């Protein structure tokens, strides 16, 4: 009996090993010679569907927020609701601007045979009780049903809390440069050439930076005497720039800028830049995509201000 049991155990073990080997060969075969899995098609469908659902919810929220008793029927193009059950004002309850889709989330299937899909869409809008009032940001969640017949809201919108007011992390540019510092002067000349019609960006940027001027979109501000003032008001750096940098030496700086529009309106901006040493002088090698932020300070939560009720 024991001999038979041992023989059966050996046969079973070899059978399992054989099946595992066959499965492994099948995987290798599929990787080497099989048809690749189509991920582009489904991904494109999902992206396109989300765009349609999001656009629908954005229009729905905009119409709902500004609906009046005179045009209550406009809501029926978005949701099945009896306008008589809604107490709508005679004039729009709020002035809105910049409606934006914040998030589109798939929540599951609905209807018989899963014939419809449910999406949750969050739409953000800037709201004012009247035109000259300061705006507040409101977020509204809309359940949208997607089927072969197109998008349709499953209910009225609901105002929801946003993701939070965020937190601040200080920039990491501890060194303040004086206006007579050579790096400061390079930054000032570059910003002026880049933003105004003064031109000459190539005098301040490295040959491989790929930076070209914006074509005079701004002009220099005027000082108290009416004379042209520099655009750059302050420059800070991650380290003290040397007066004669070696070739390839770099330092990152942050330039605070005050420019003037053609209508003489001031515009305040901040430019994070990377400077590189070329021939013993500093040149702008790049406009950084983001400033250097501290990796030593904890984020400081922003205390949100209570929005003014508008509806």
Q: What share of the chain has pLDDT > 70, as a percent? A: 83
Question: Is the CB of residue 268 less than 8 Å from the CB of residue 257?
Answer: yes
Domains of the chain: 40-160 (3.10.450.540), 175-287 (3.10.450.540)
How many Å separate Cα 95 from the centre of its chain?
25
Q: Is the pLDDT of residue 49 over 90?
A: no
* Residue 250, both tokens: 């770099």
| Tokens 């107490």 belong to residue | 87
The band of 36, judged by pLDDT with boundaries at 50, 70 and 90, is low
Give this prediction's pTM. 0.69
pLDDT per residue as tens digits for the range 203-232: 999 999 999 999 999 999 988 787 889 999
Point out which residues pair with 252 in neighbouring strands.
274
User: Residue 84: its pLDDT value, please?
Assistant: 74
Q: For the chain, give the mean pLDDT.
A: 87
Which residue is listed with tokens 């209570």?
Answer: 306
Q: How does pLDDT run across 122-148, given as a tens digit for each residue?
A: 999 999 999 999 999 999 999 999 999
Q: How far apart are CA 72 and CA 110, in angstroms?
A: 28
The residues, ordered by sequence, that sit 6+ positions from 221 with a Cβ below 8 Å of its Cβ are 228, 229, 231, 258, 259, 260, 266
111, β-bridge pairs: none
């Amino acid at each position: 009996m024991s001999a038979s049991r041992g023989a059966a155990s050996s046969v079973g073990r070899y059978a399992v090993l054989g099946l595992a080997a066959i499965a492994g060969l099948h995987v290798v075969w599929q990787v080497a010679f099989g048809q690749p899995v189509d991920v582009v098609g489904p991904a494109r469908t999902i992206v396109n569907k989300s765009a349609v659902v999001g656009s629908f919810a954005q229009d729905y929220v905009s119409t709902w927020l500004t609906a009046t008793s005179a045009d209550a029927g406009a809501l029926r193009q978005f949701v099945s609701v009896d306008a008589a059950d809604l107490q709508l004002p005679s004039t729009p309850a709020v002035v809105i601007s910049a409606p934006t889709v914040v998030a589109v989330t798939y929540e599951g299937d609905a209807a018989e045979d899963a014939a419809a899909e449910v999406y949750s869409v969050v739409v953000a809008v800037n709201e004012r009780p009247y035109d000259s009032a300061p705006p507040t940001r409101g977020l509204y969640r809309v359940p949208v049903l997607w089927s072969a017949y197109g998008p349709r809201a499953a209910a009225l919108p609901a105002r929801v809390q946003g993701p939070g007011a965020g937190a601040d992390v200080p920039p990491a540019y501890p060194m303040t440069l004086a206006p007579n510092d050579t790096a400061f002067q390079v930054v000032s000349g570059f910003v002026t050439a880049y933003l105004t019609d003064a031109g000459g960006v190539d005098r301040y940027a490295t040959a491989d930076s790929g930076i070209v001027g914006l074509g005079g979109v701004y002009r220099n501000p005027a000082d108290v005497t009416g004379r042209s003032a520099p655009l750059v008001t302050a420059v800070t750096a991650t380290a003290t720039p040397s007066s004669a940098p070696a070739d390839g030496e770099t330092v990152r700086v942050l330039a605070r800028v005050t420019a003037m529009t053609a209508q003489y309106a001031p515009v305040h901006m901040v430019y994070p830049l990377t400077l590189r040493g070329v021939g013993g002088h500093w040149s702008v090698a790049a406009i950084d995509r983001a400033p250097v932020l501290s990796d030593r300070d904890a984020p400081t939560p922003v205390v949100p201000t209570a929005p003014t009720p508008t509806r």
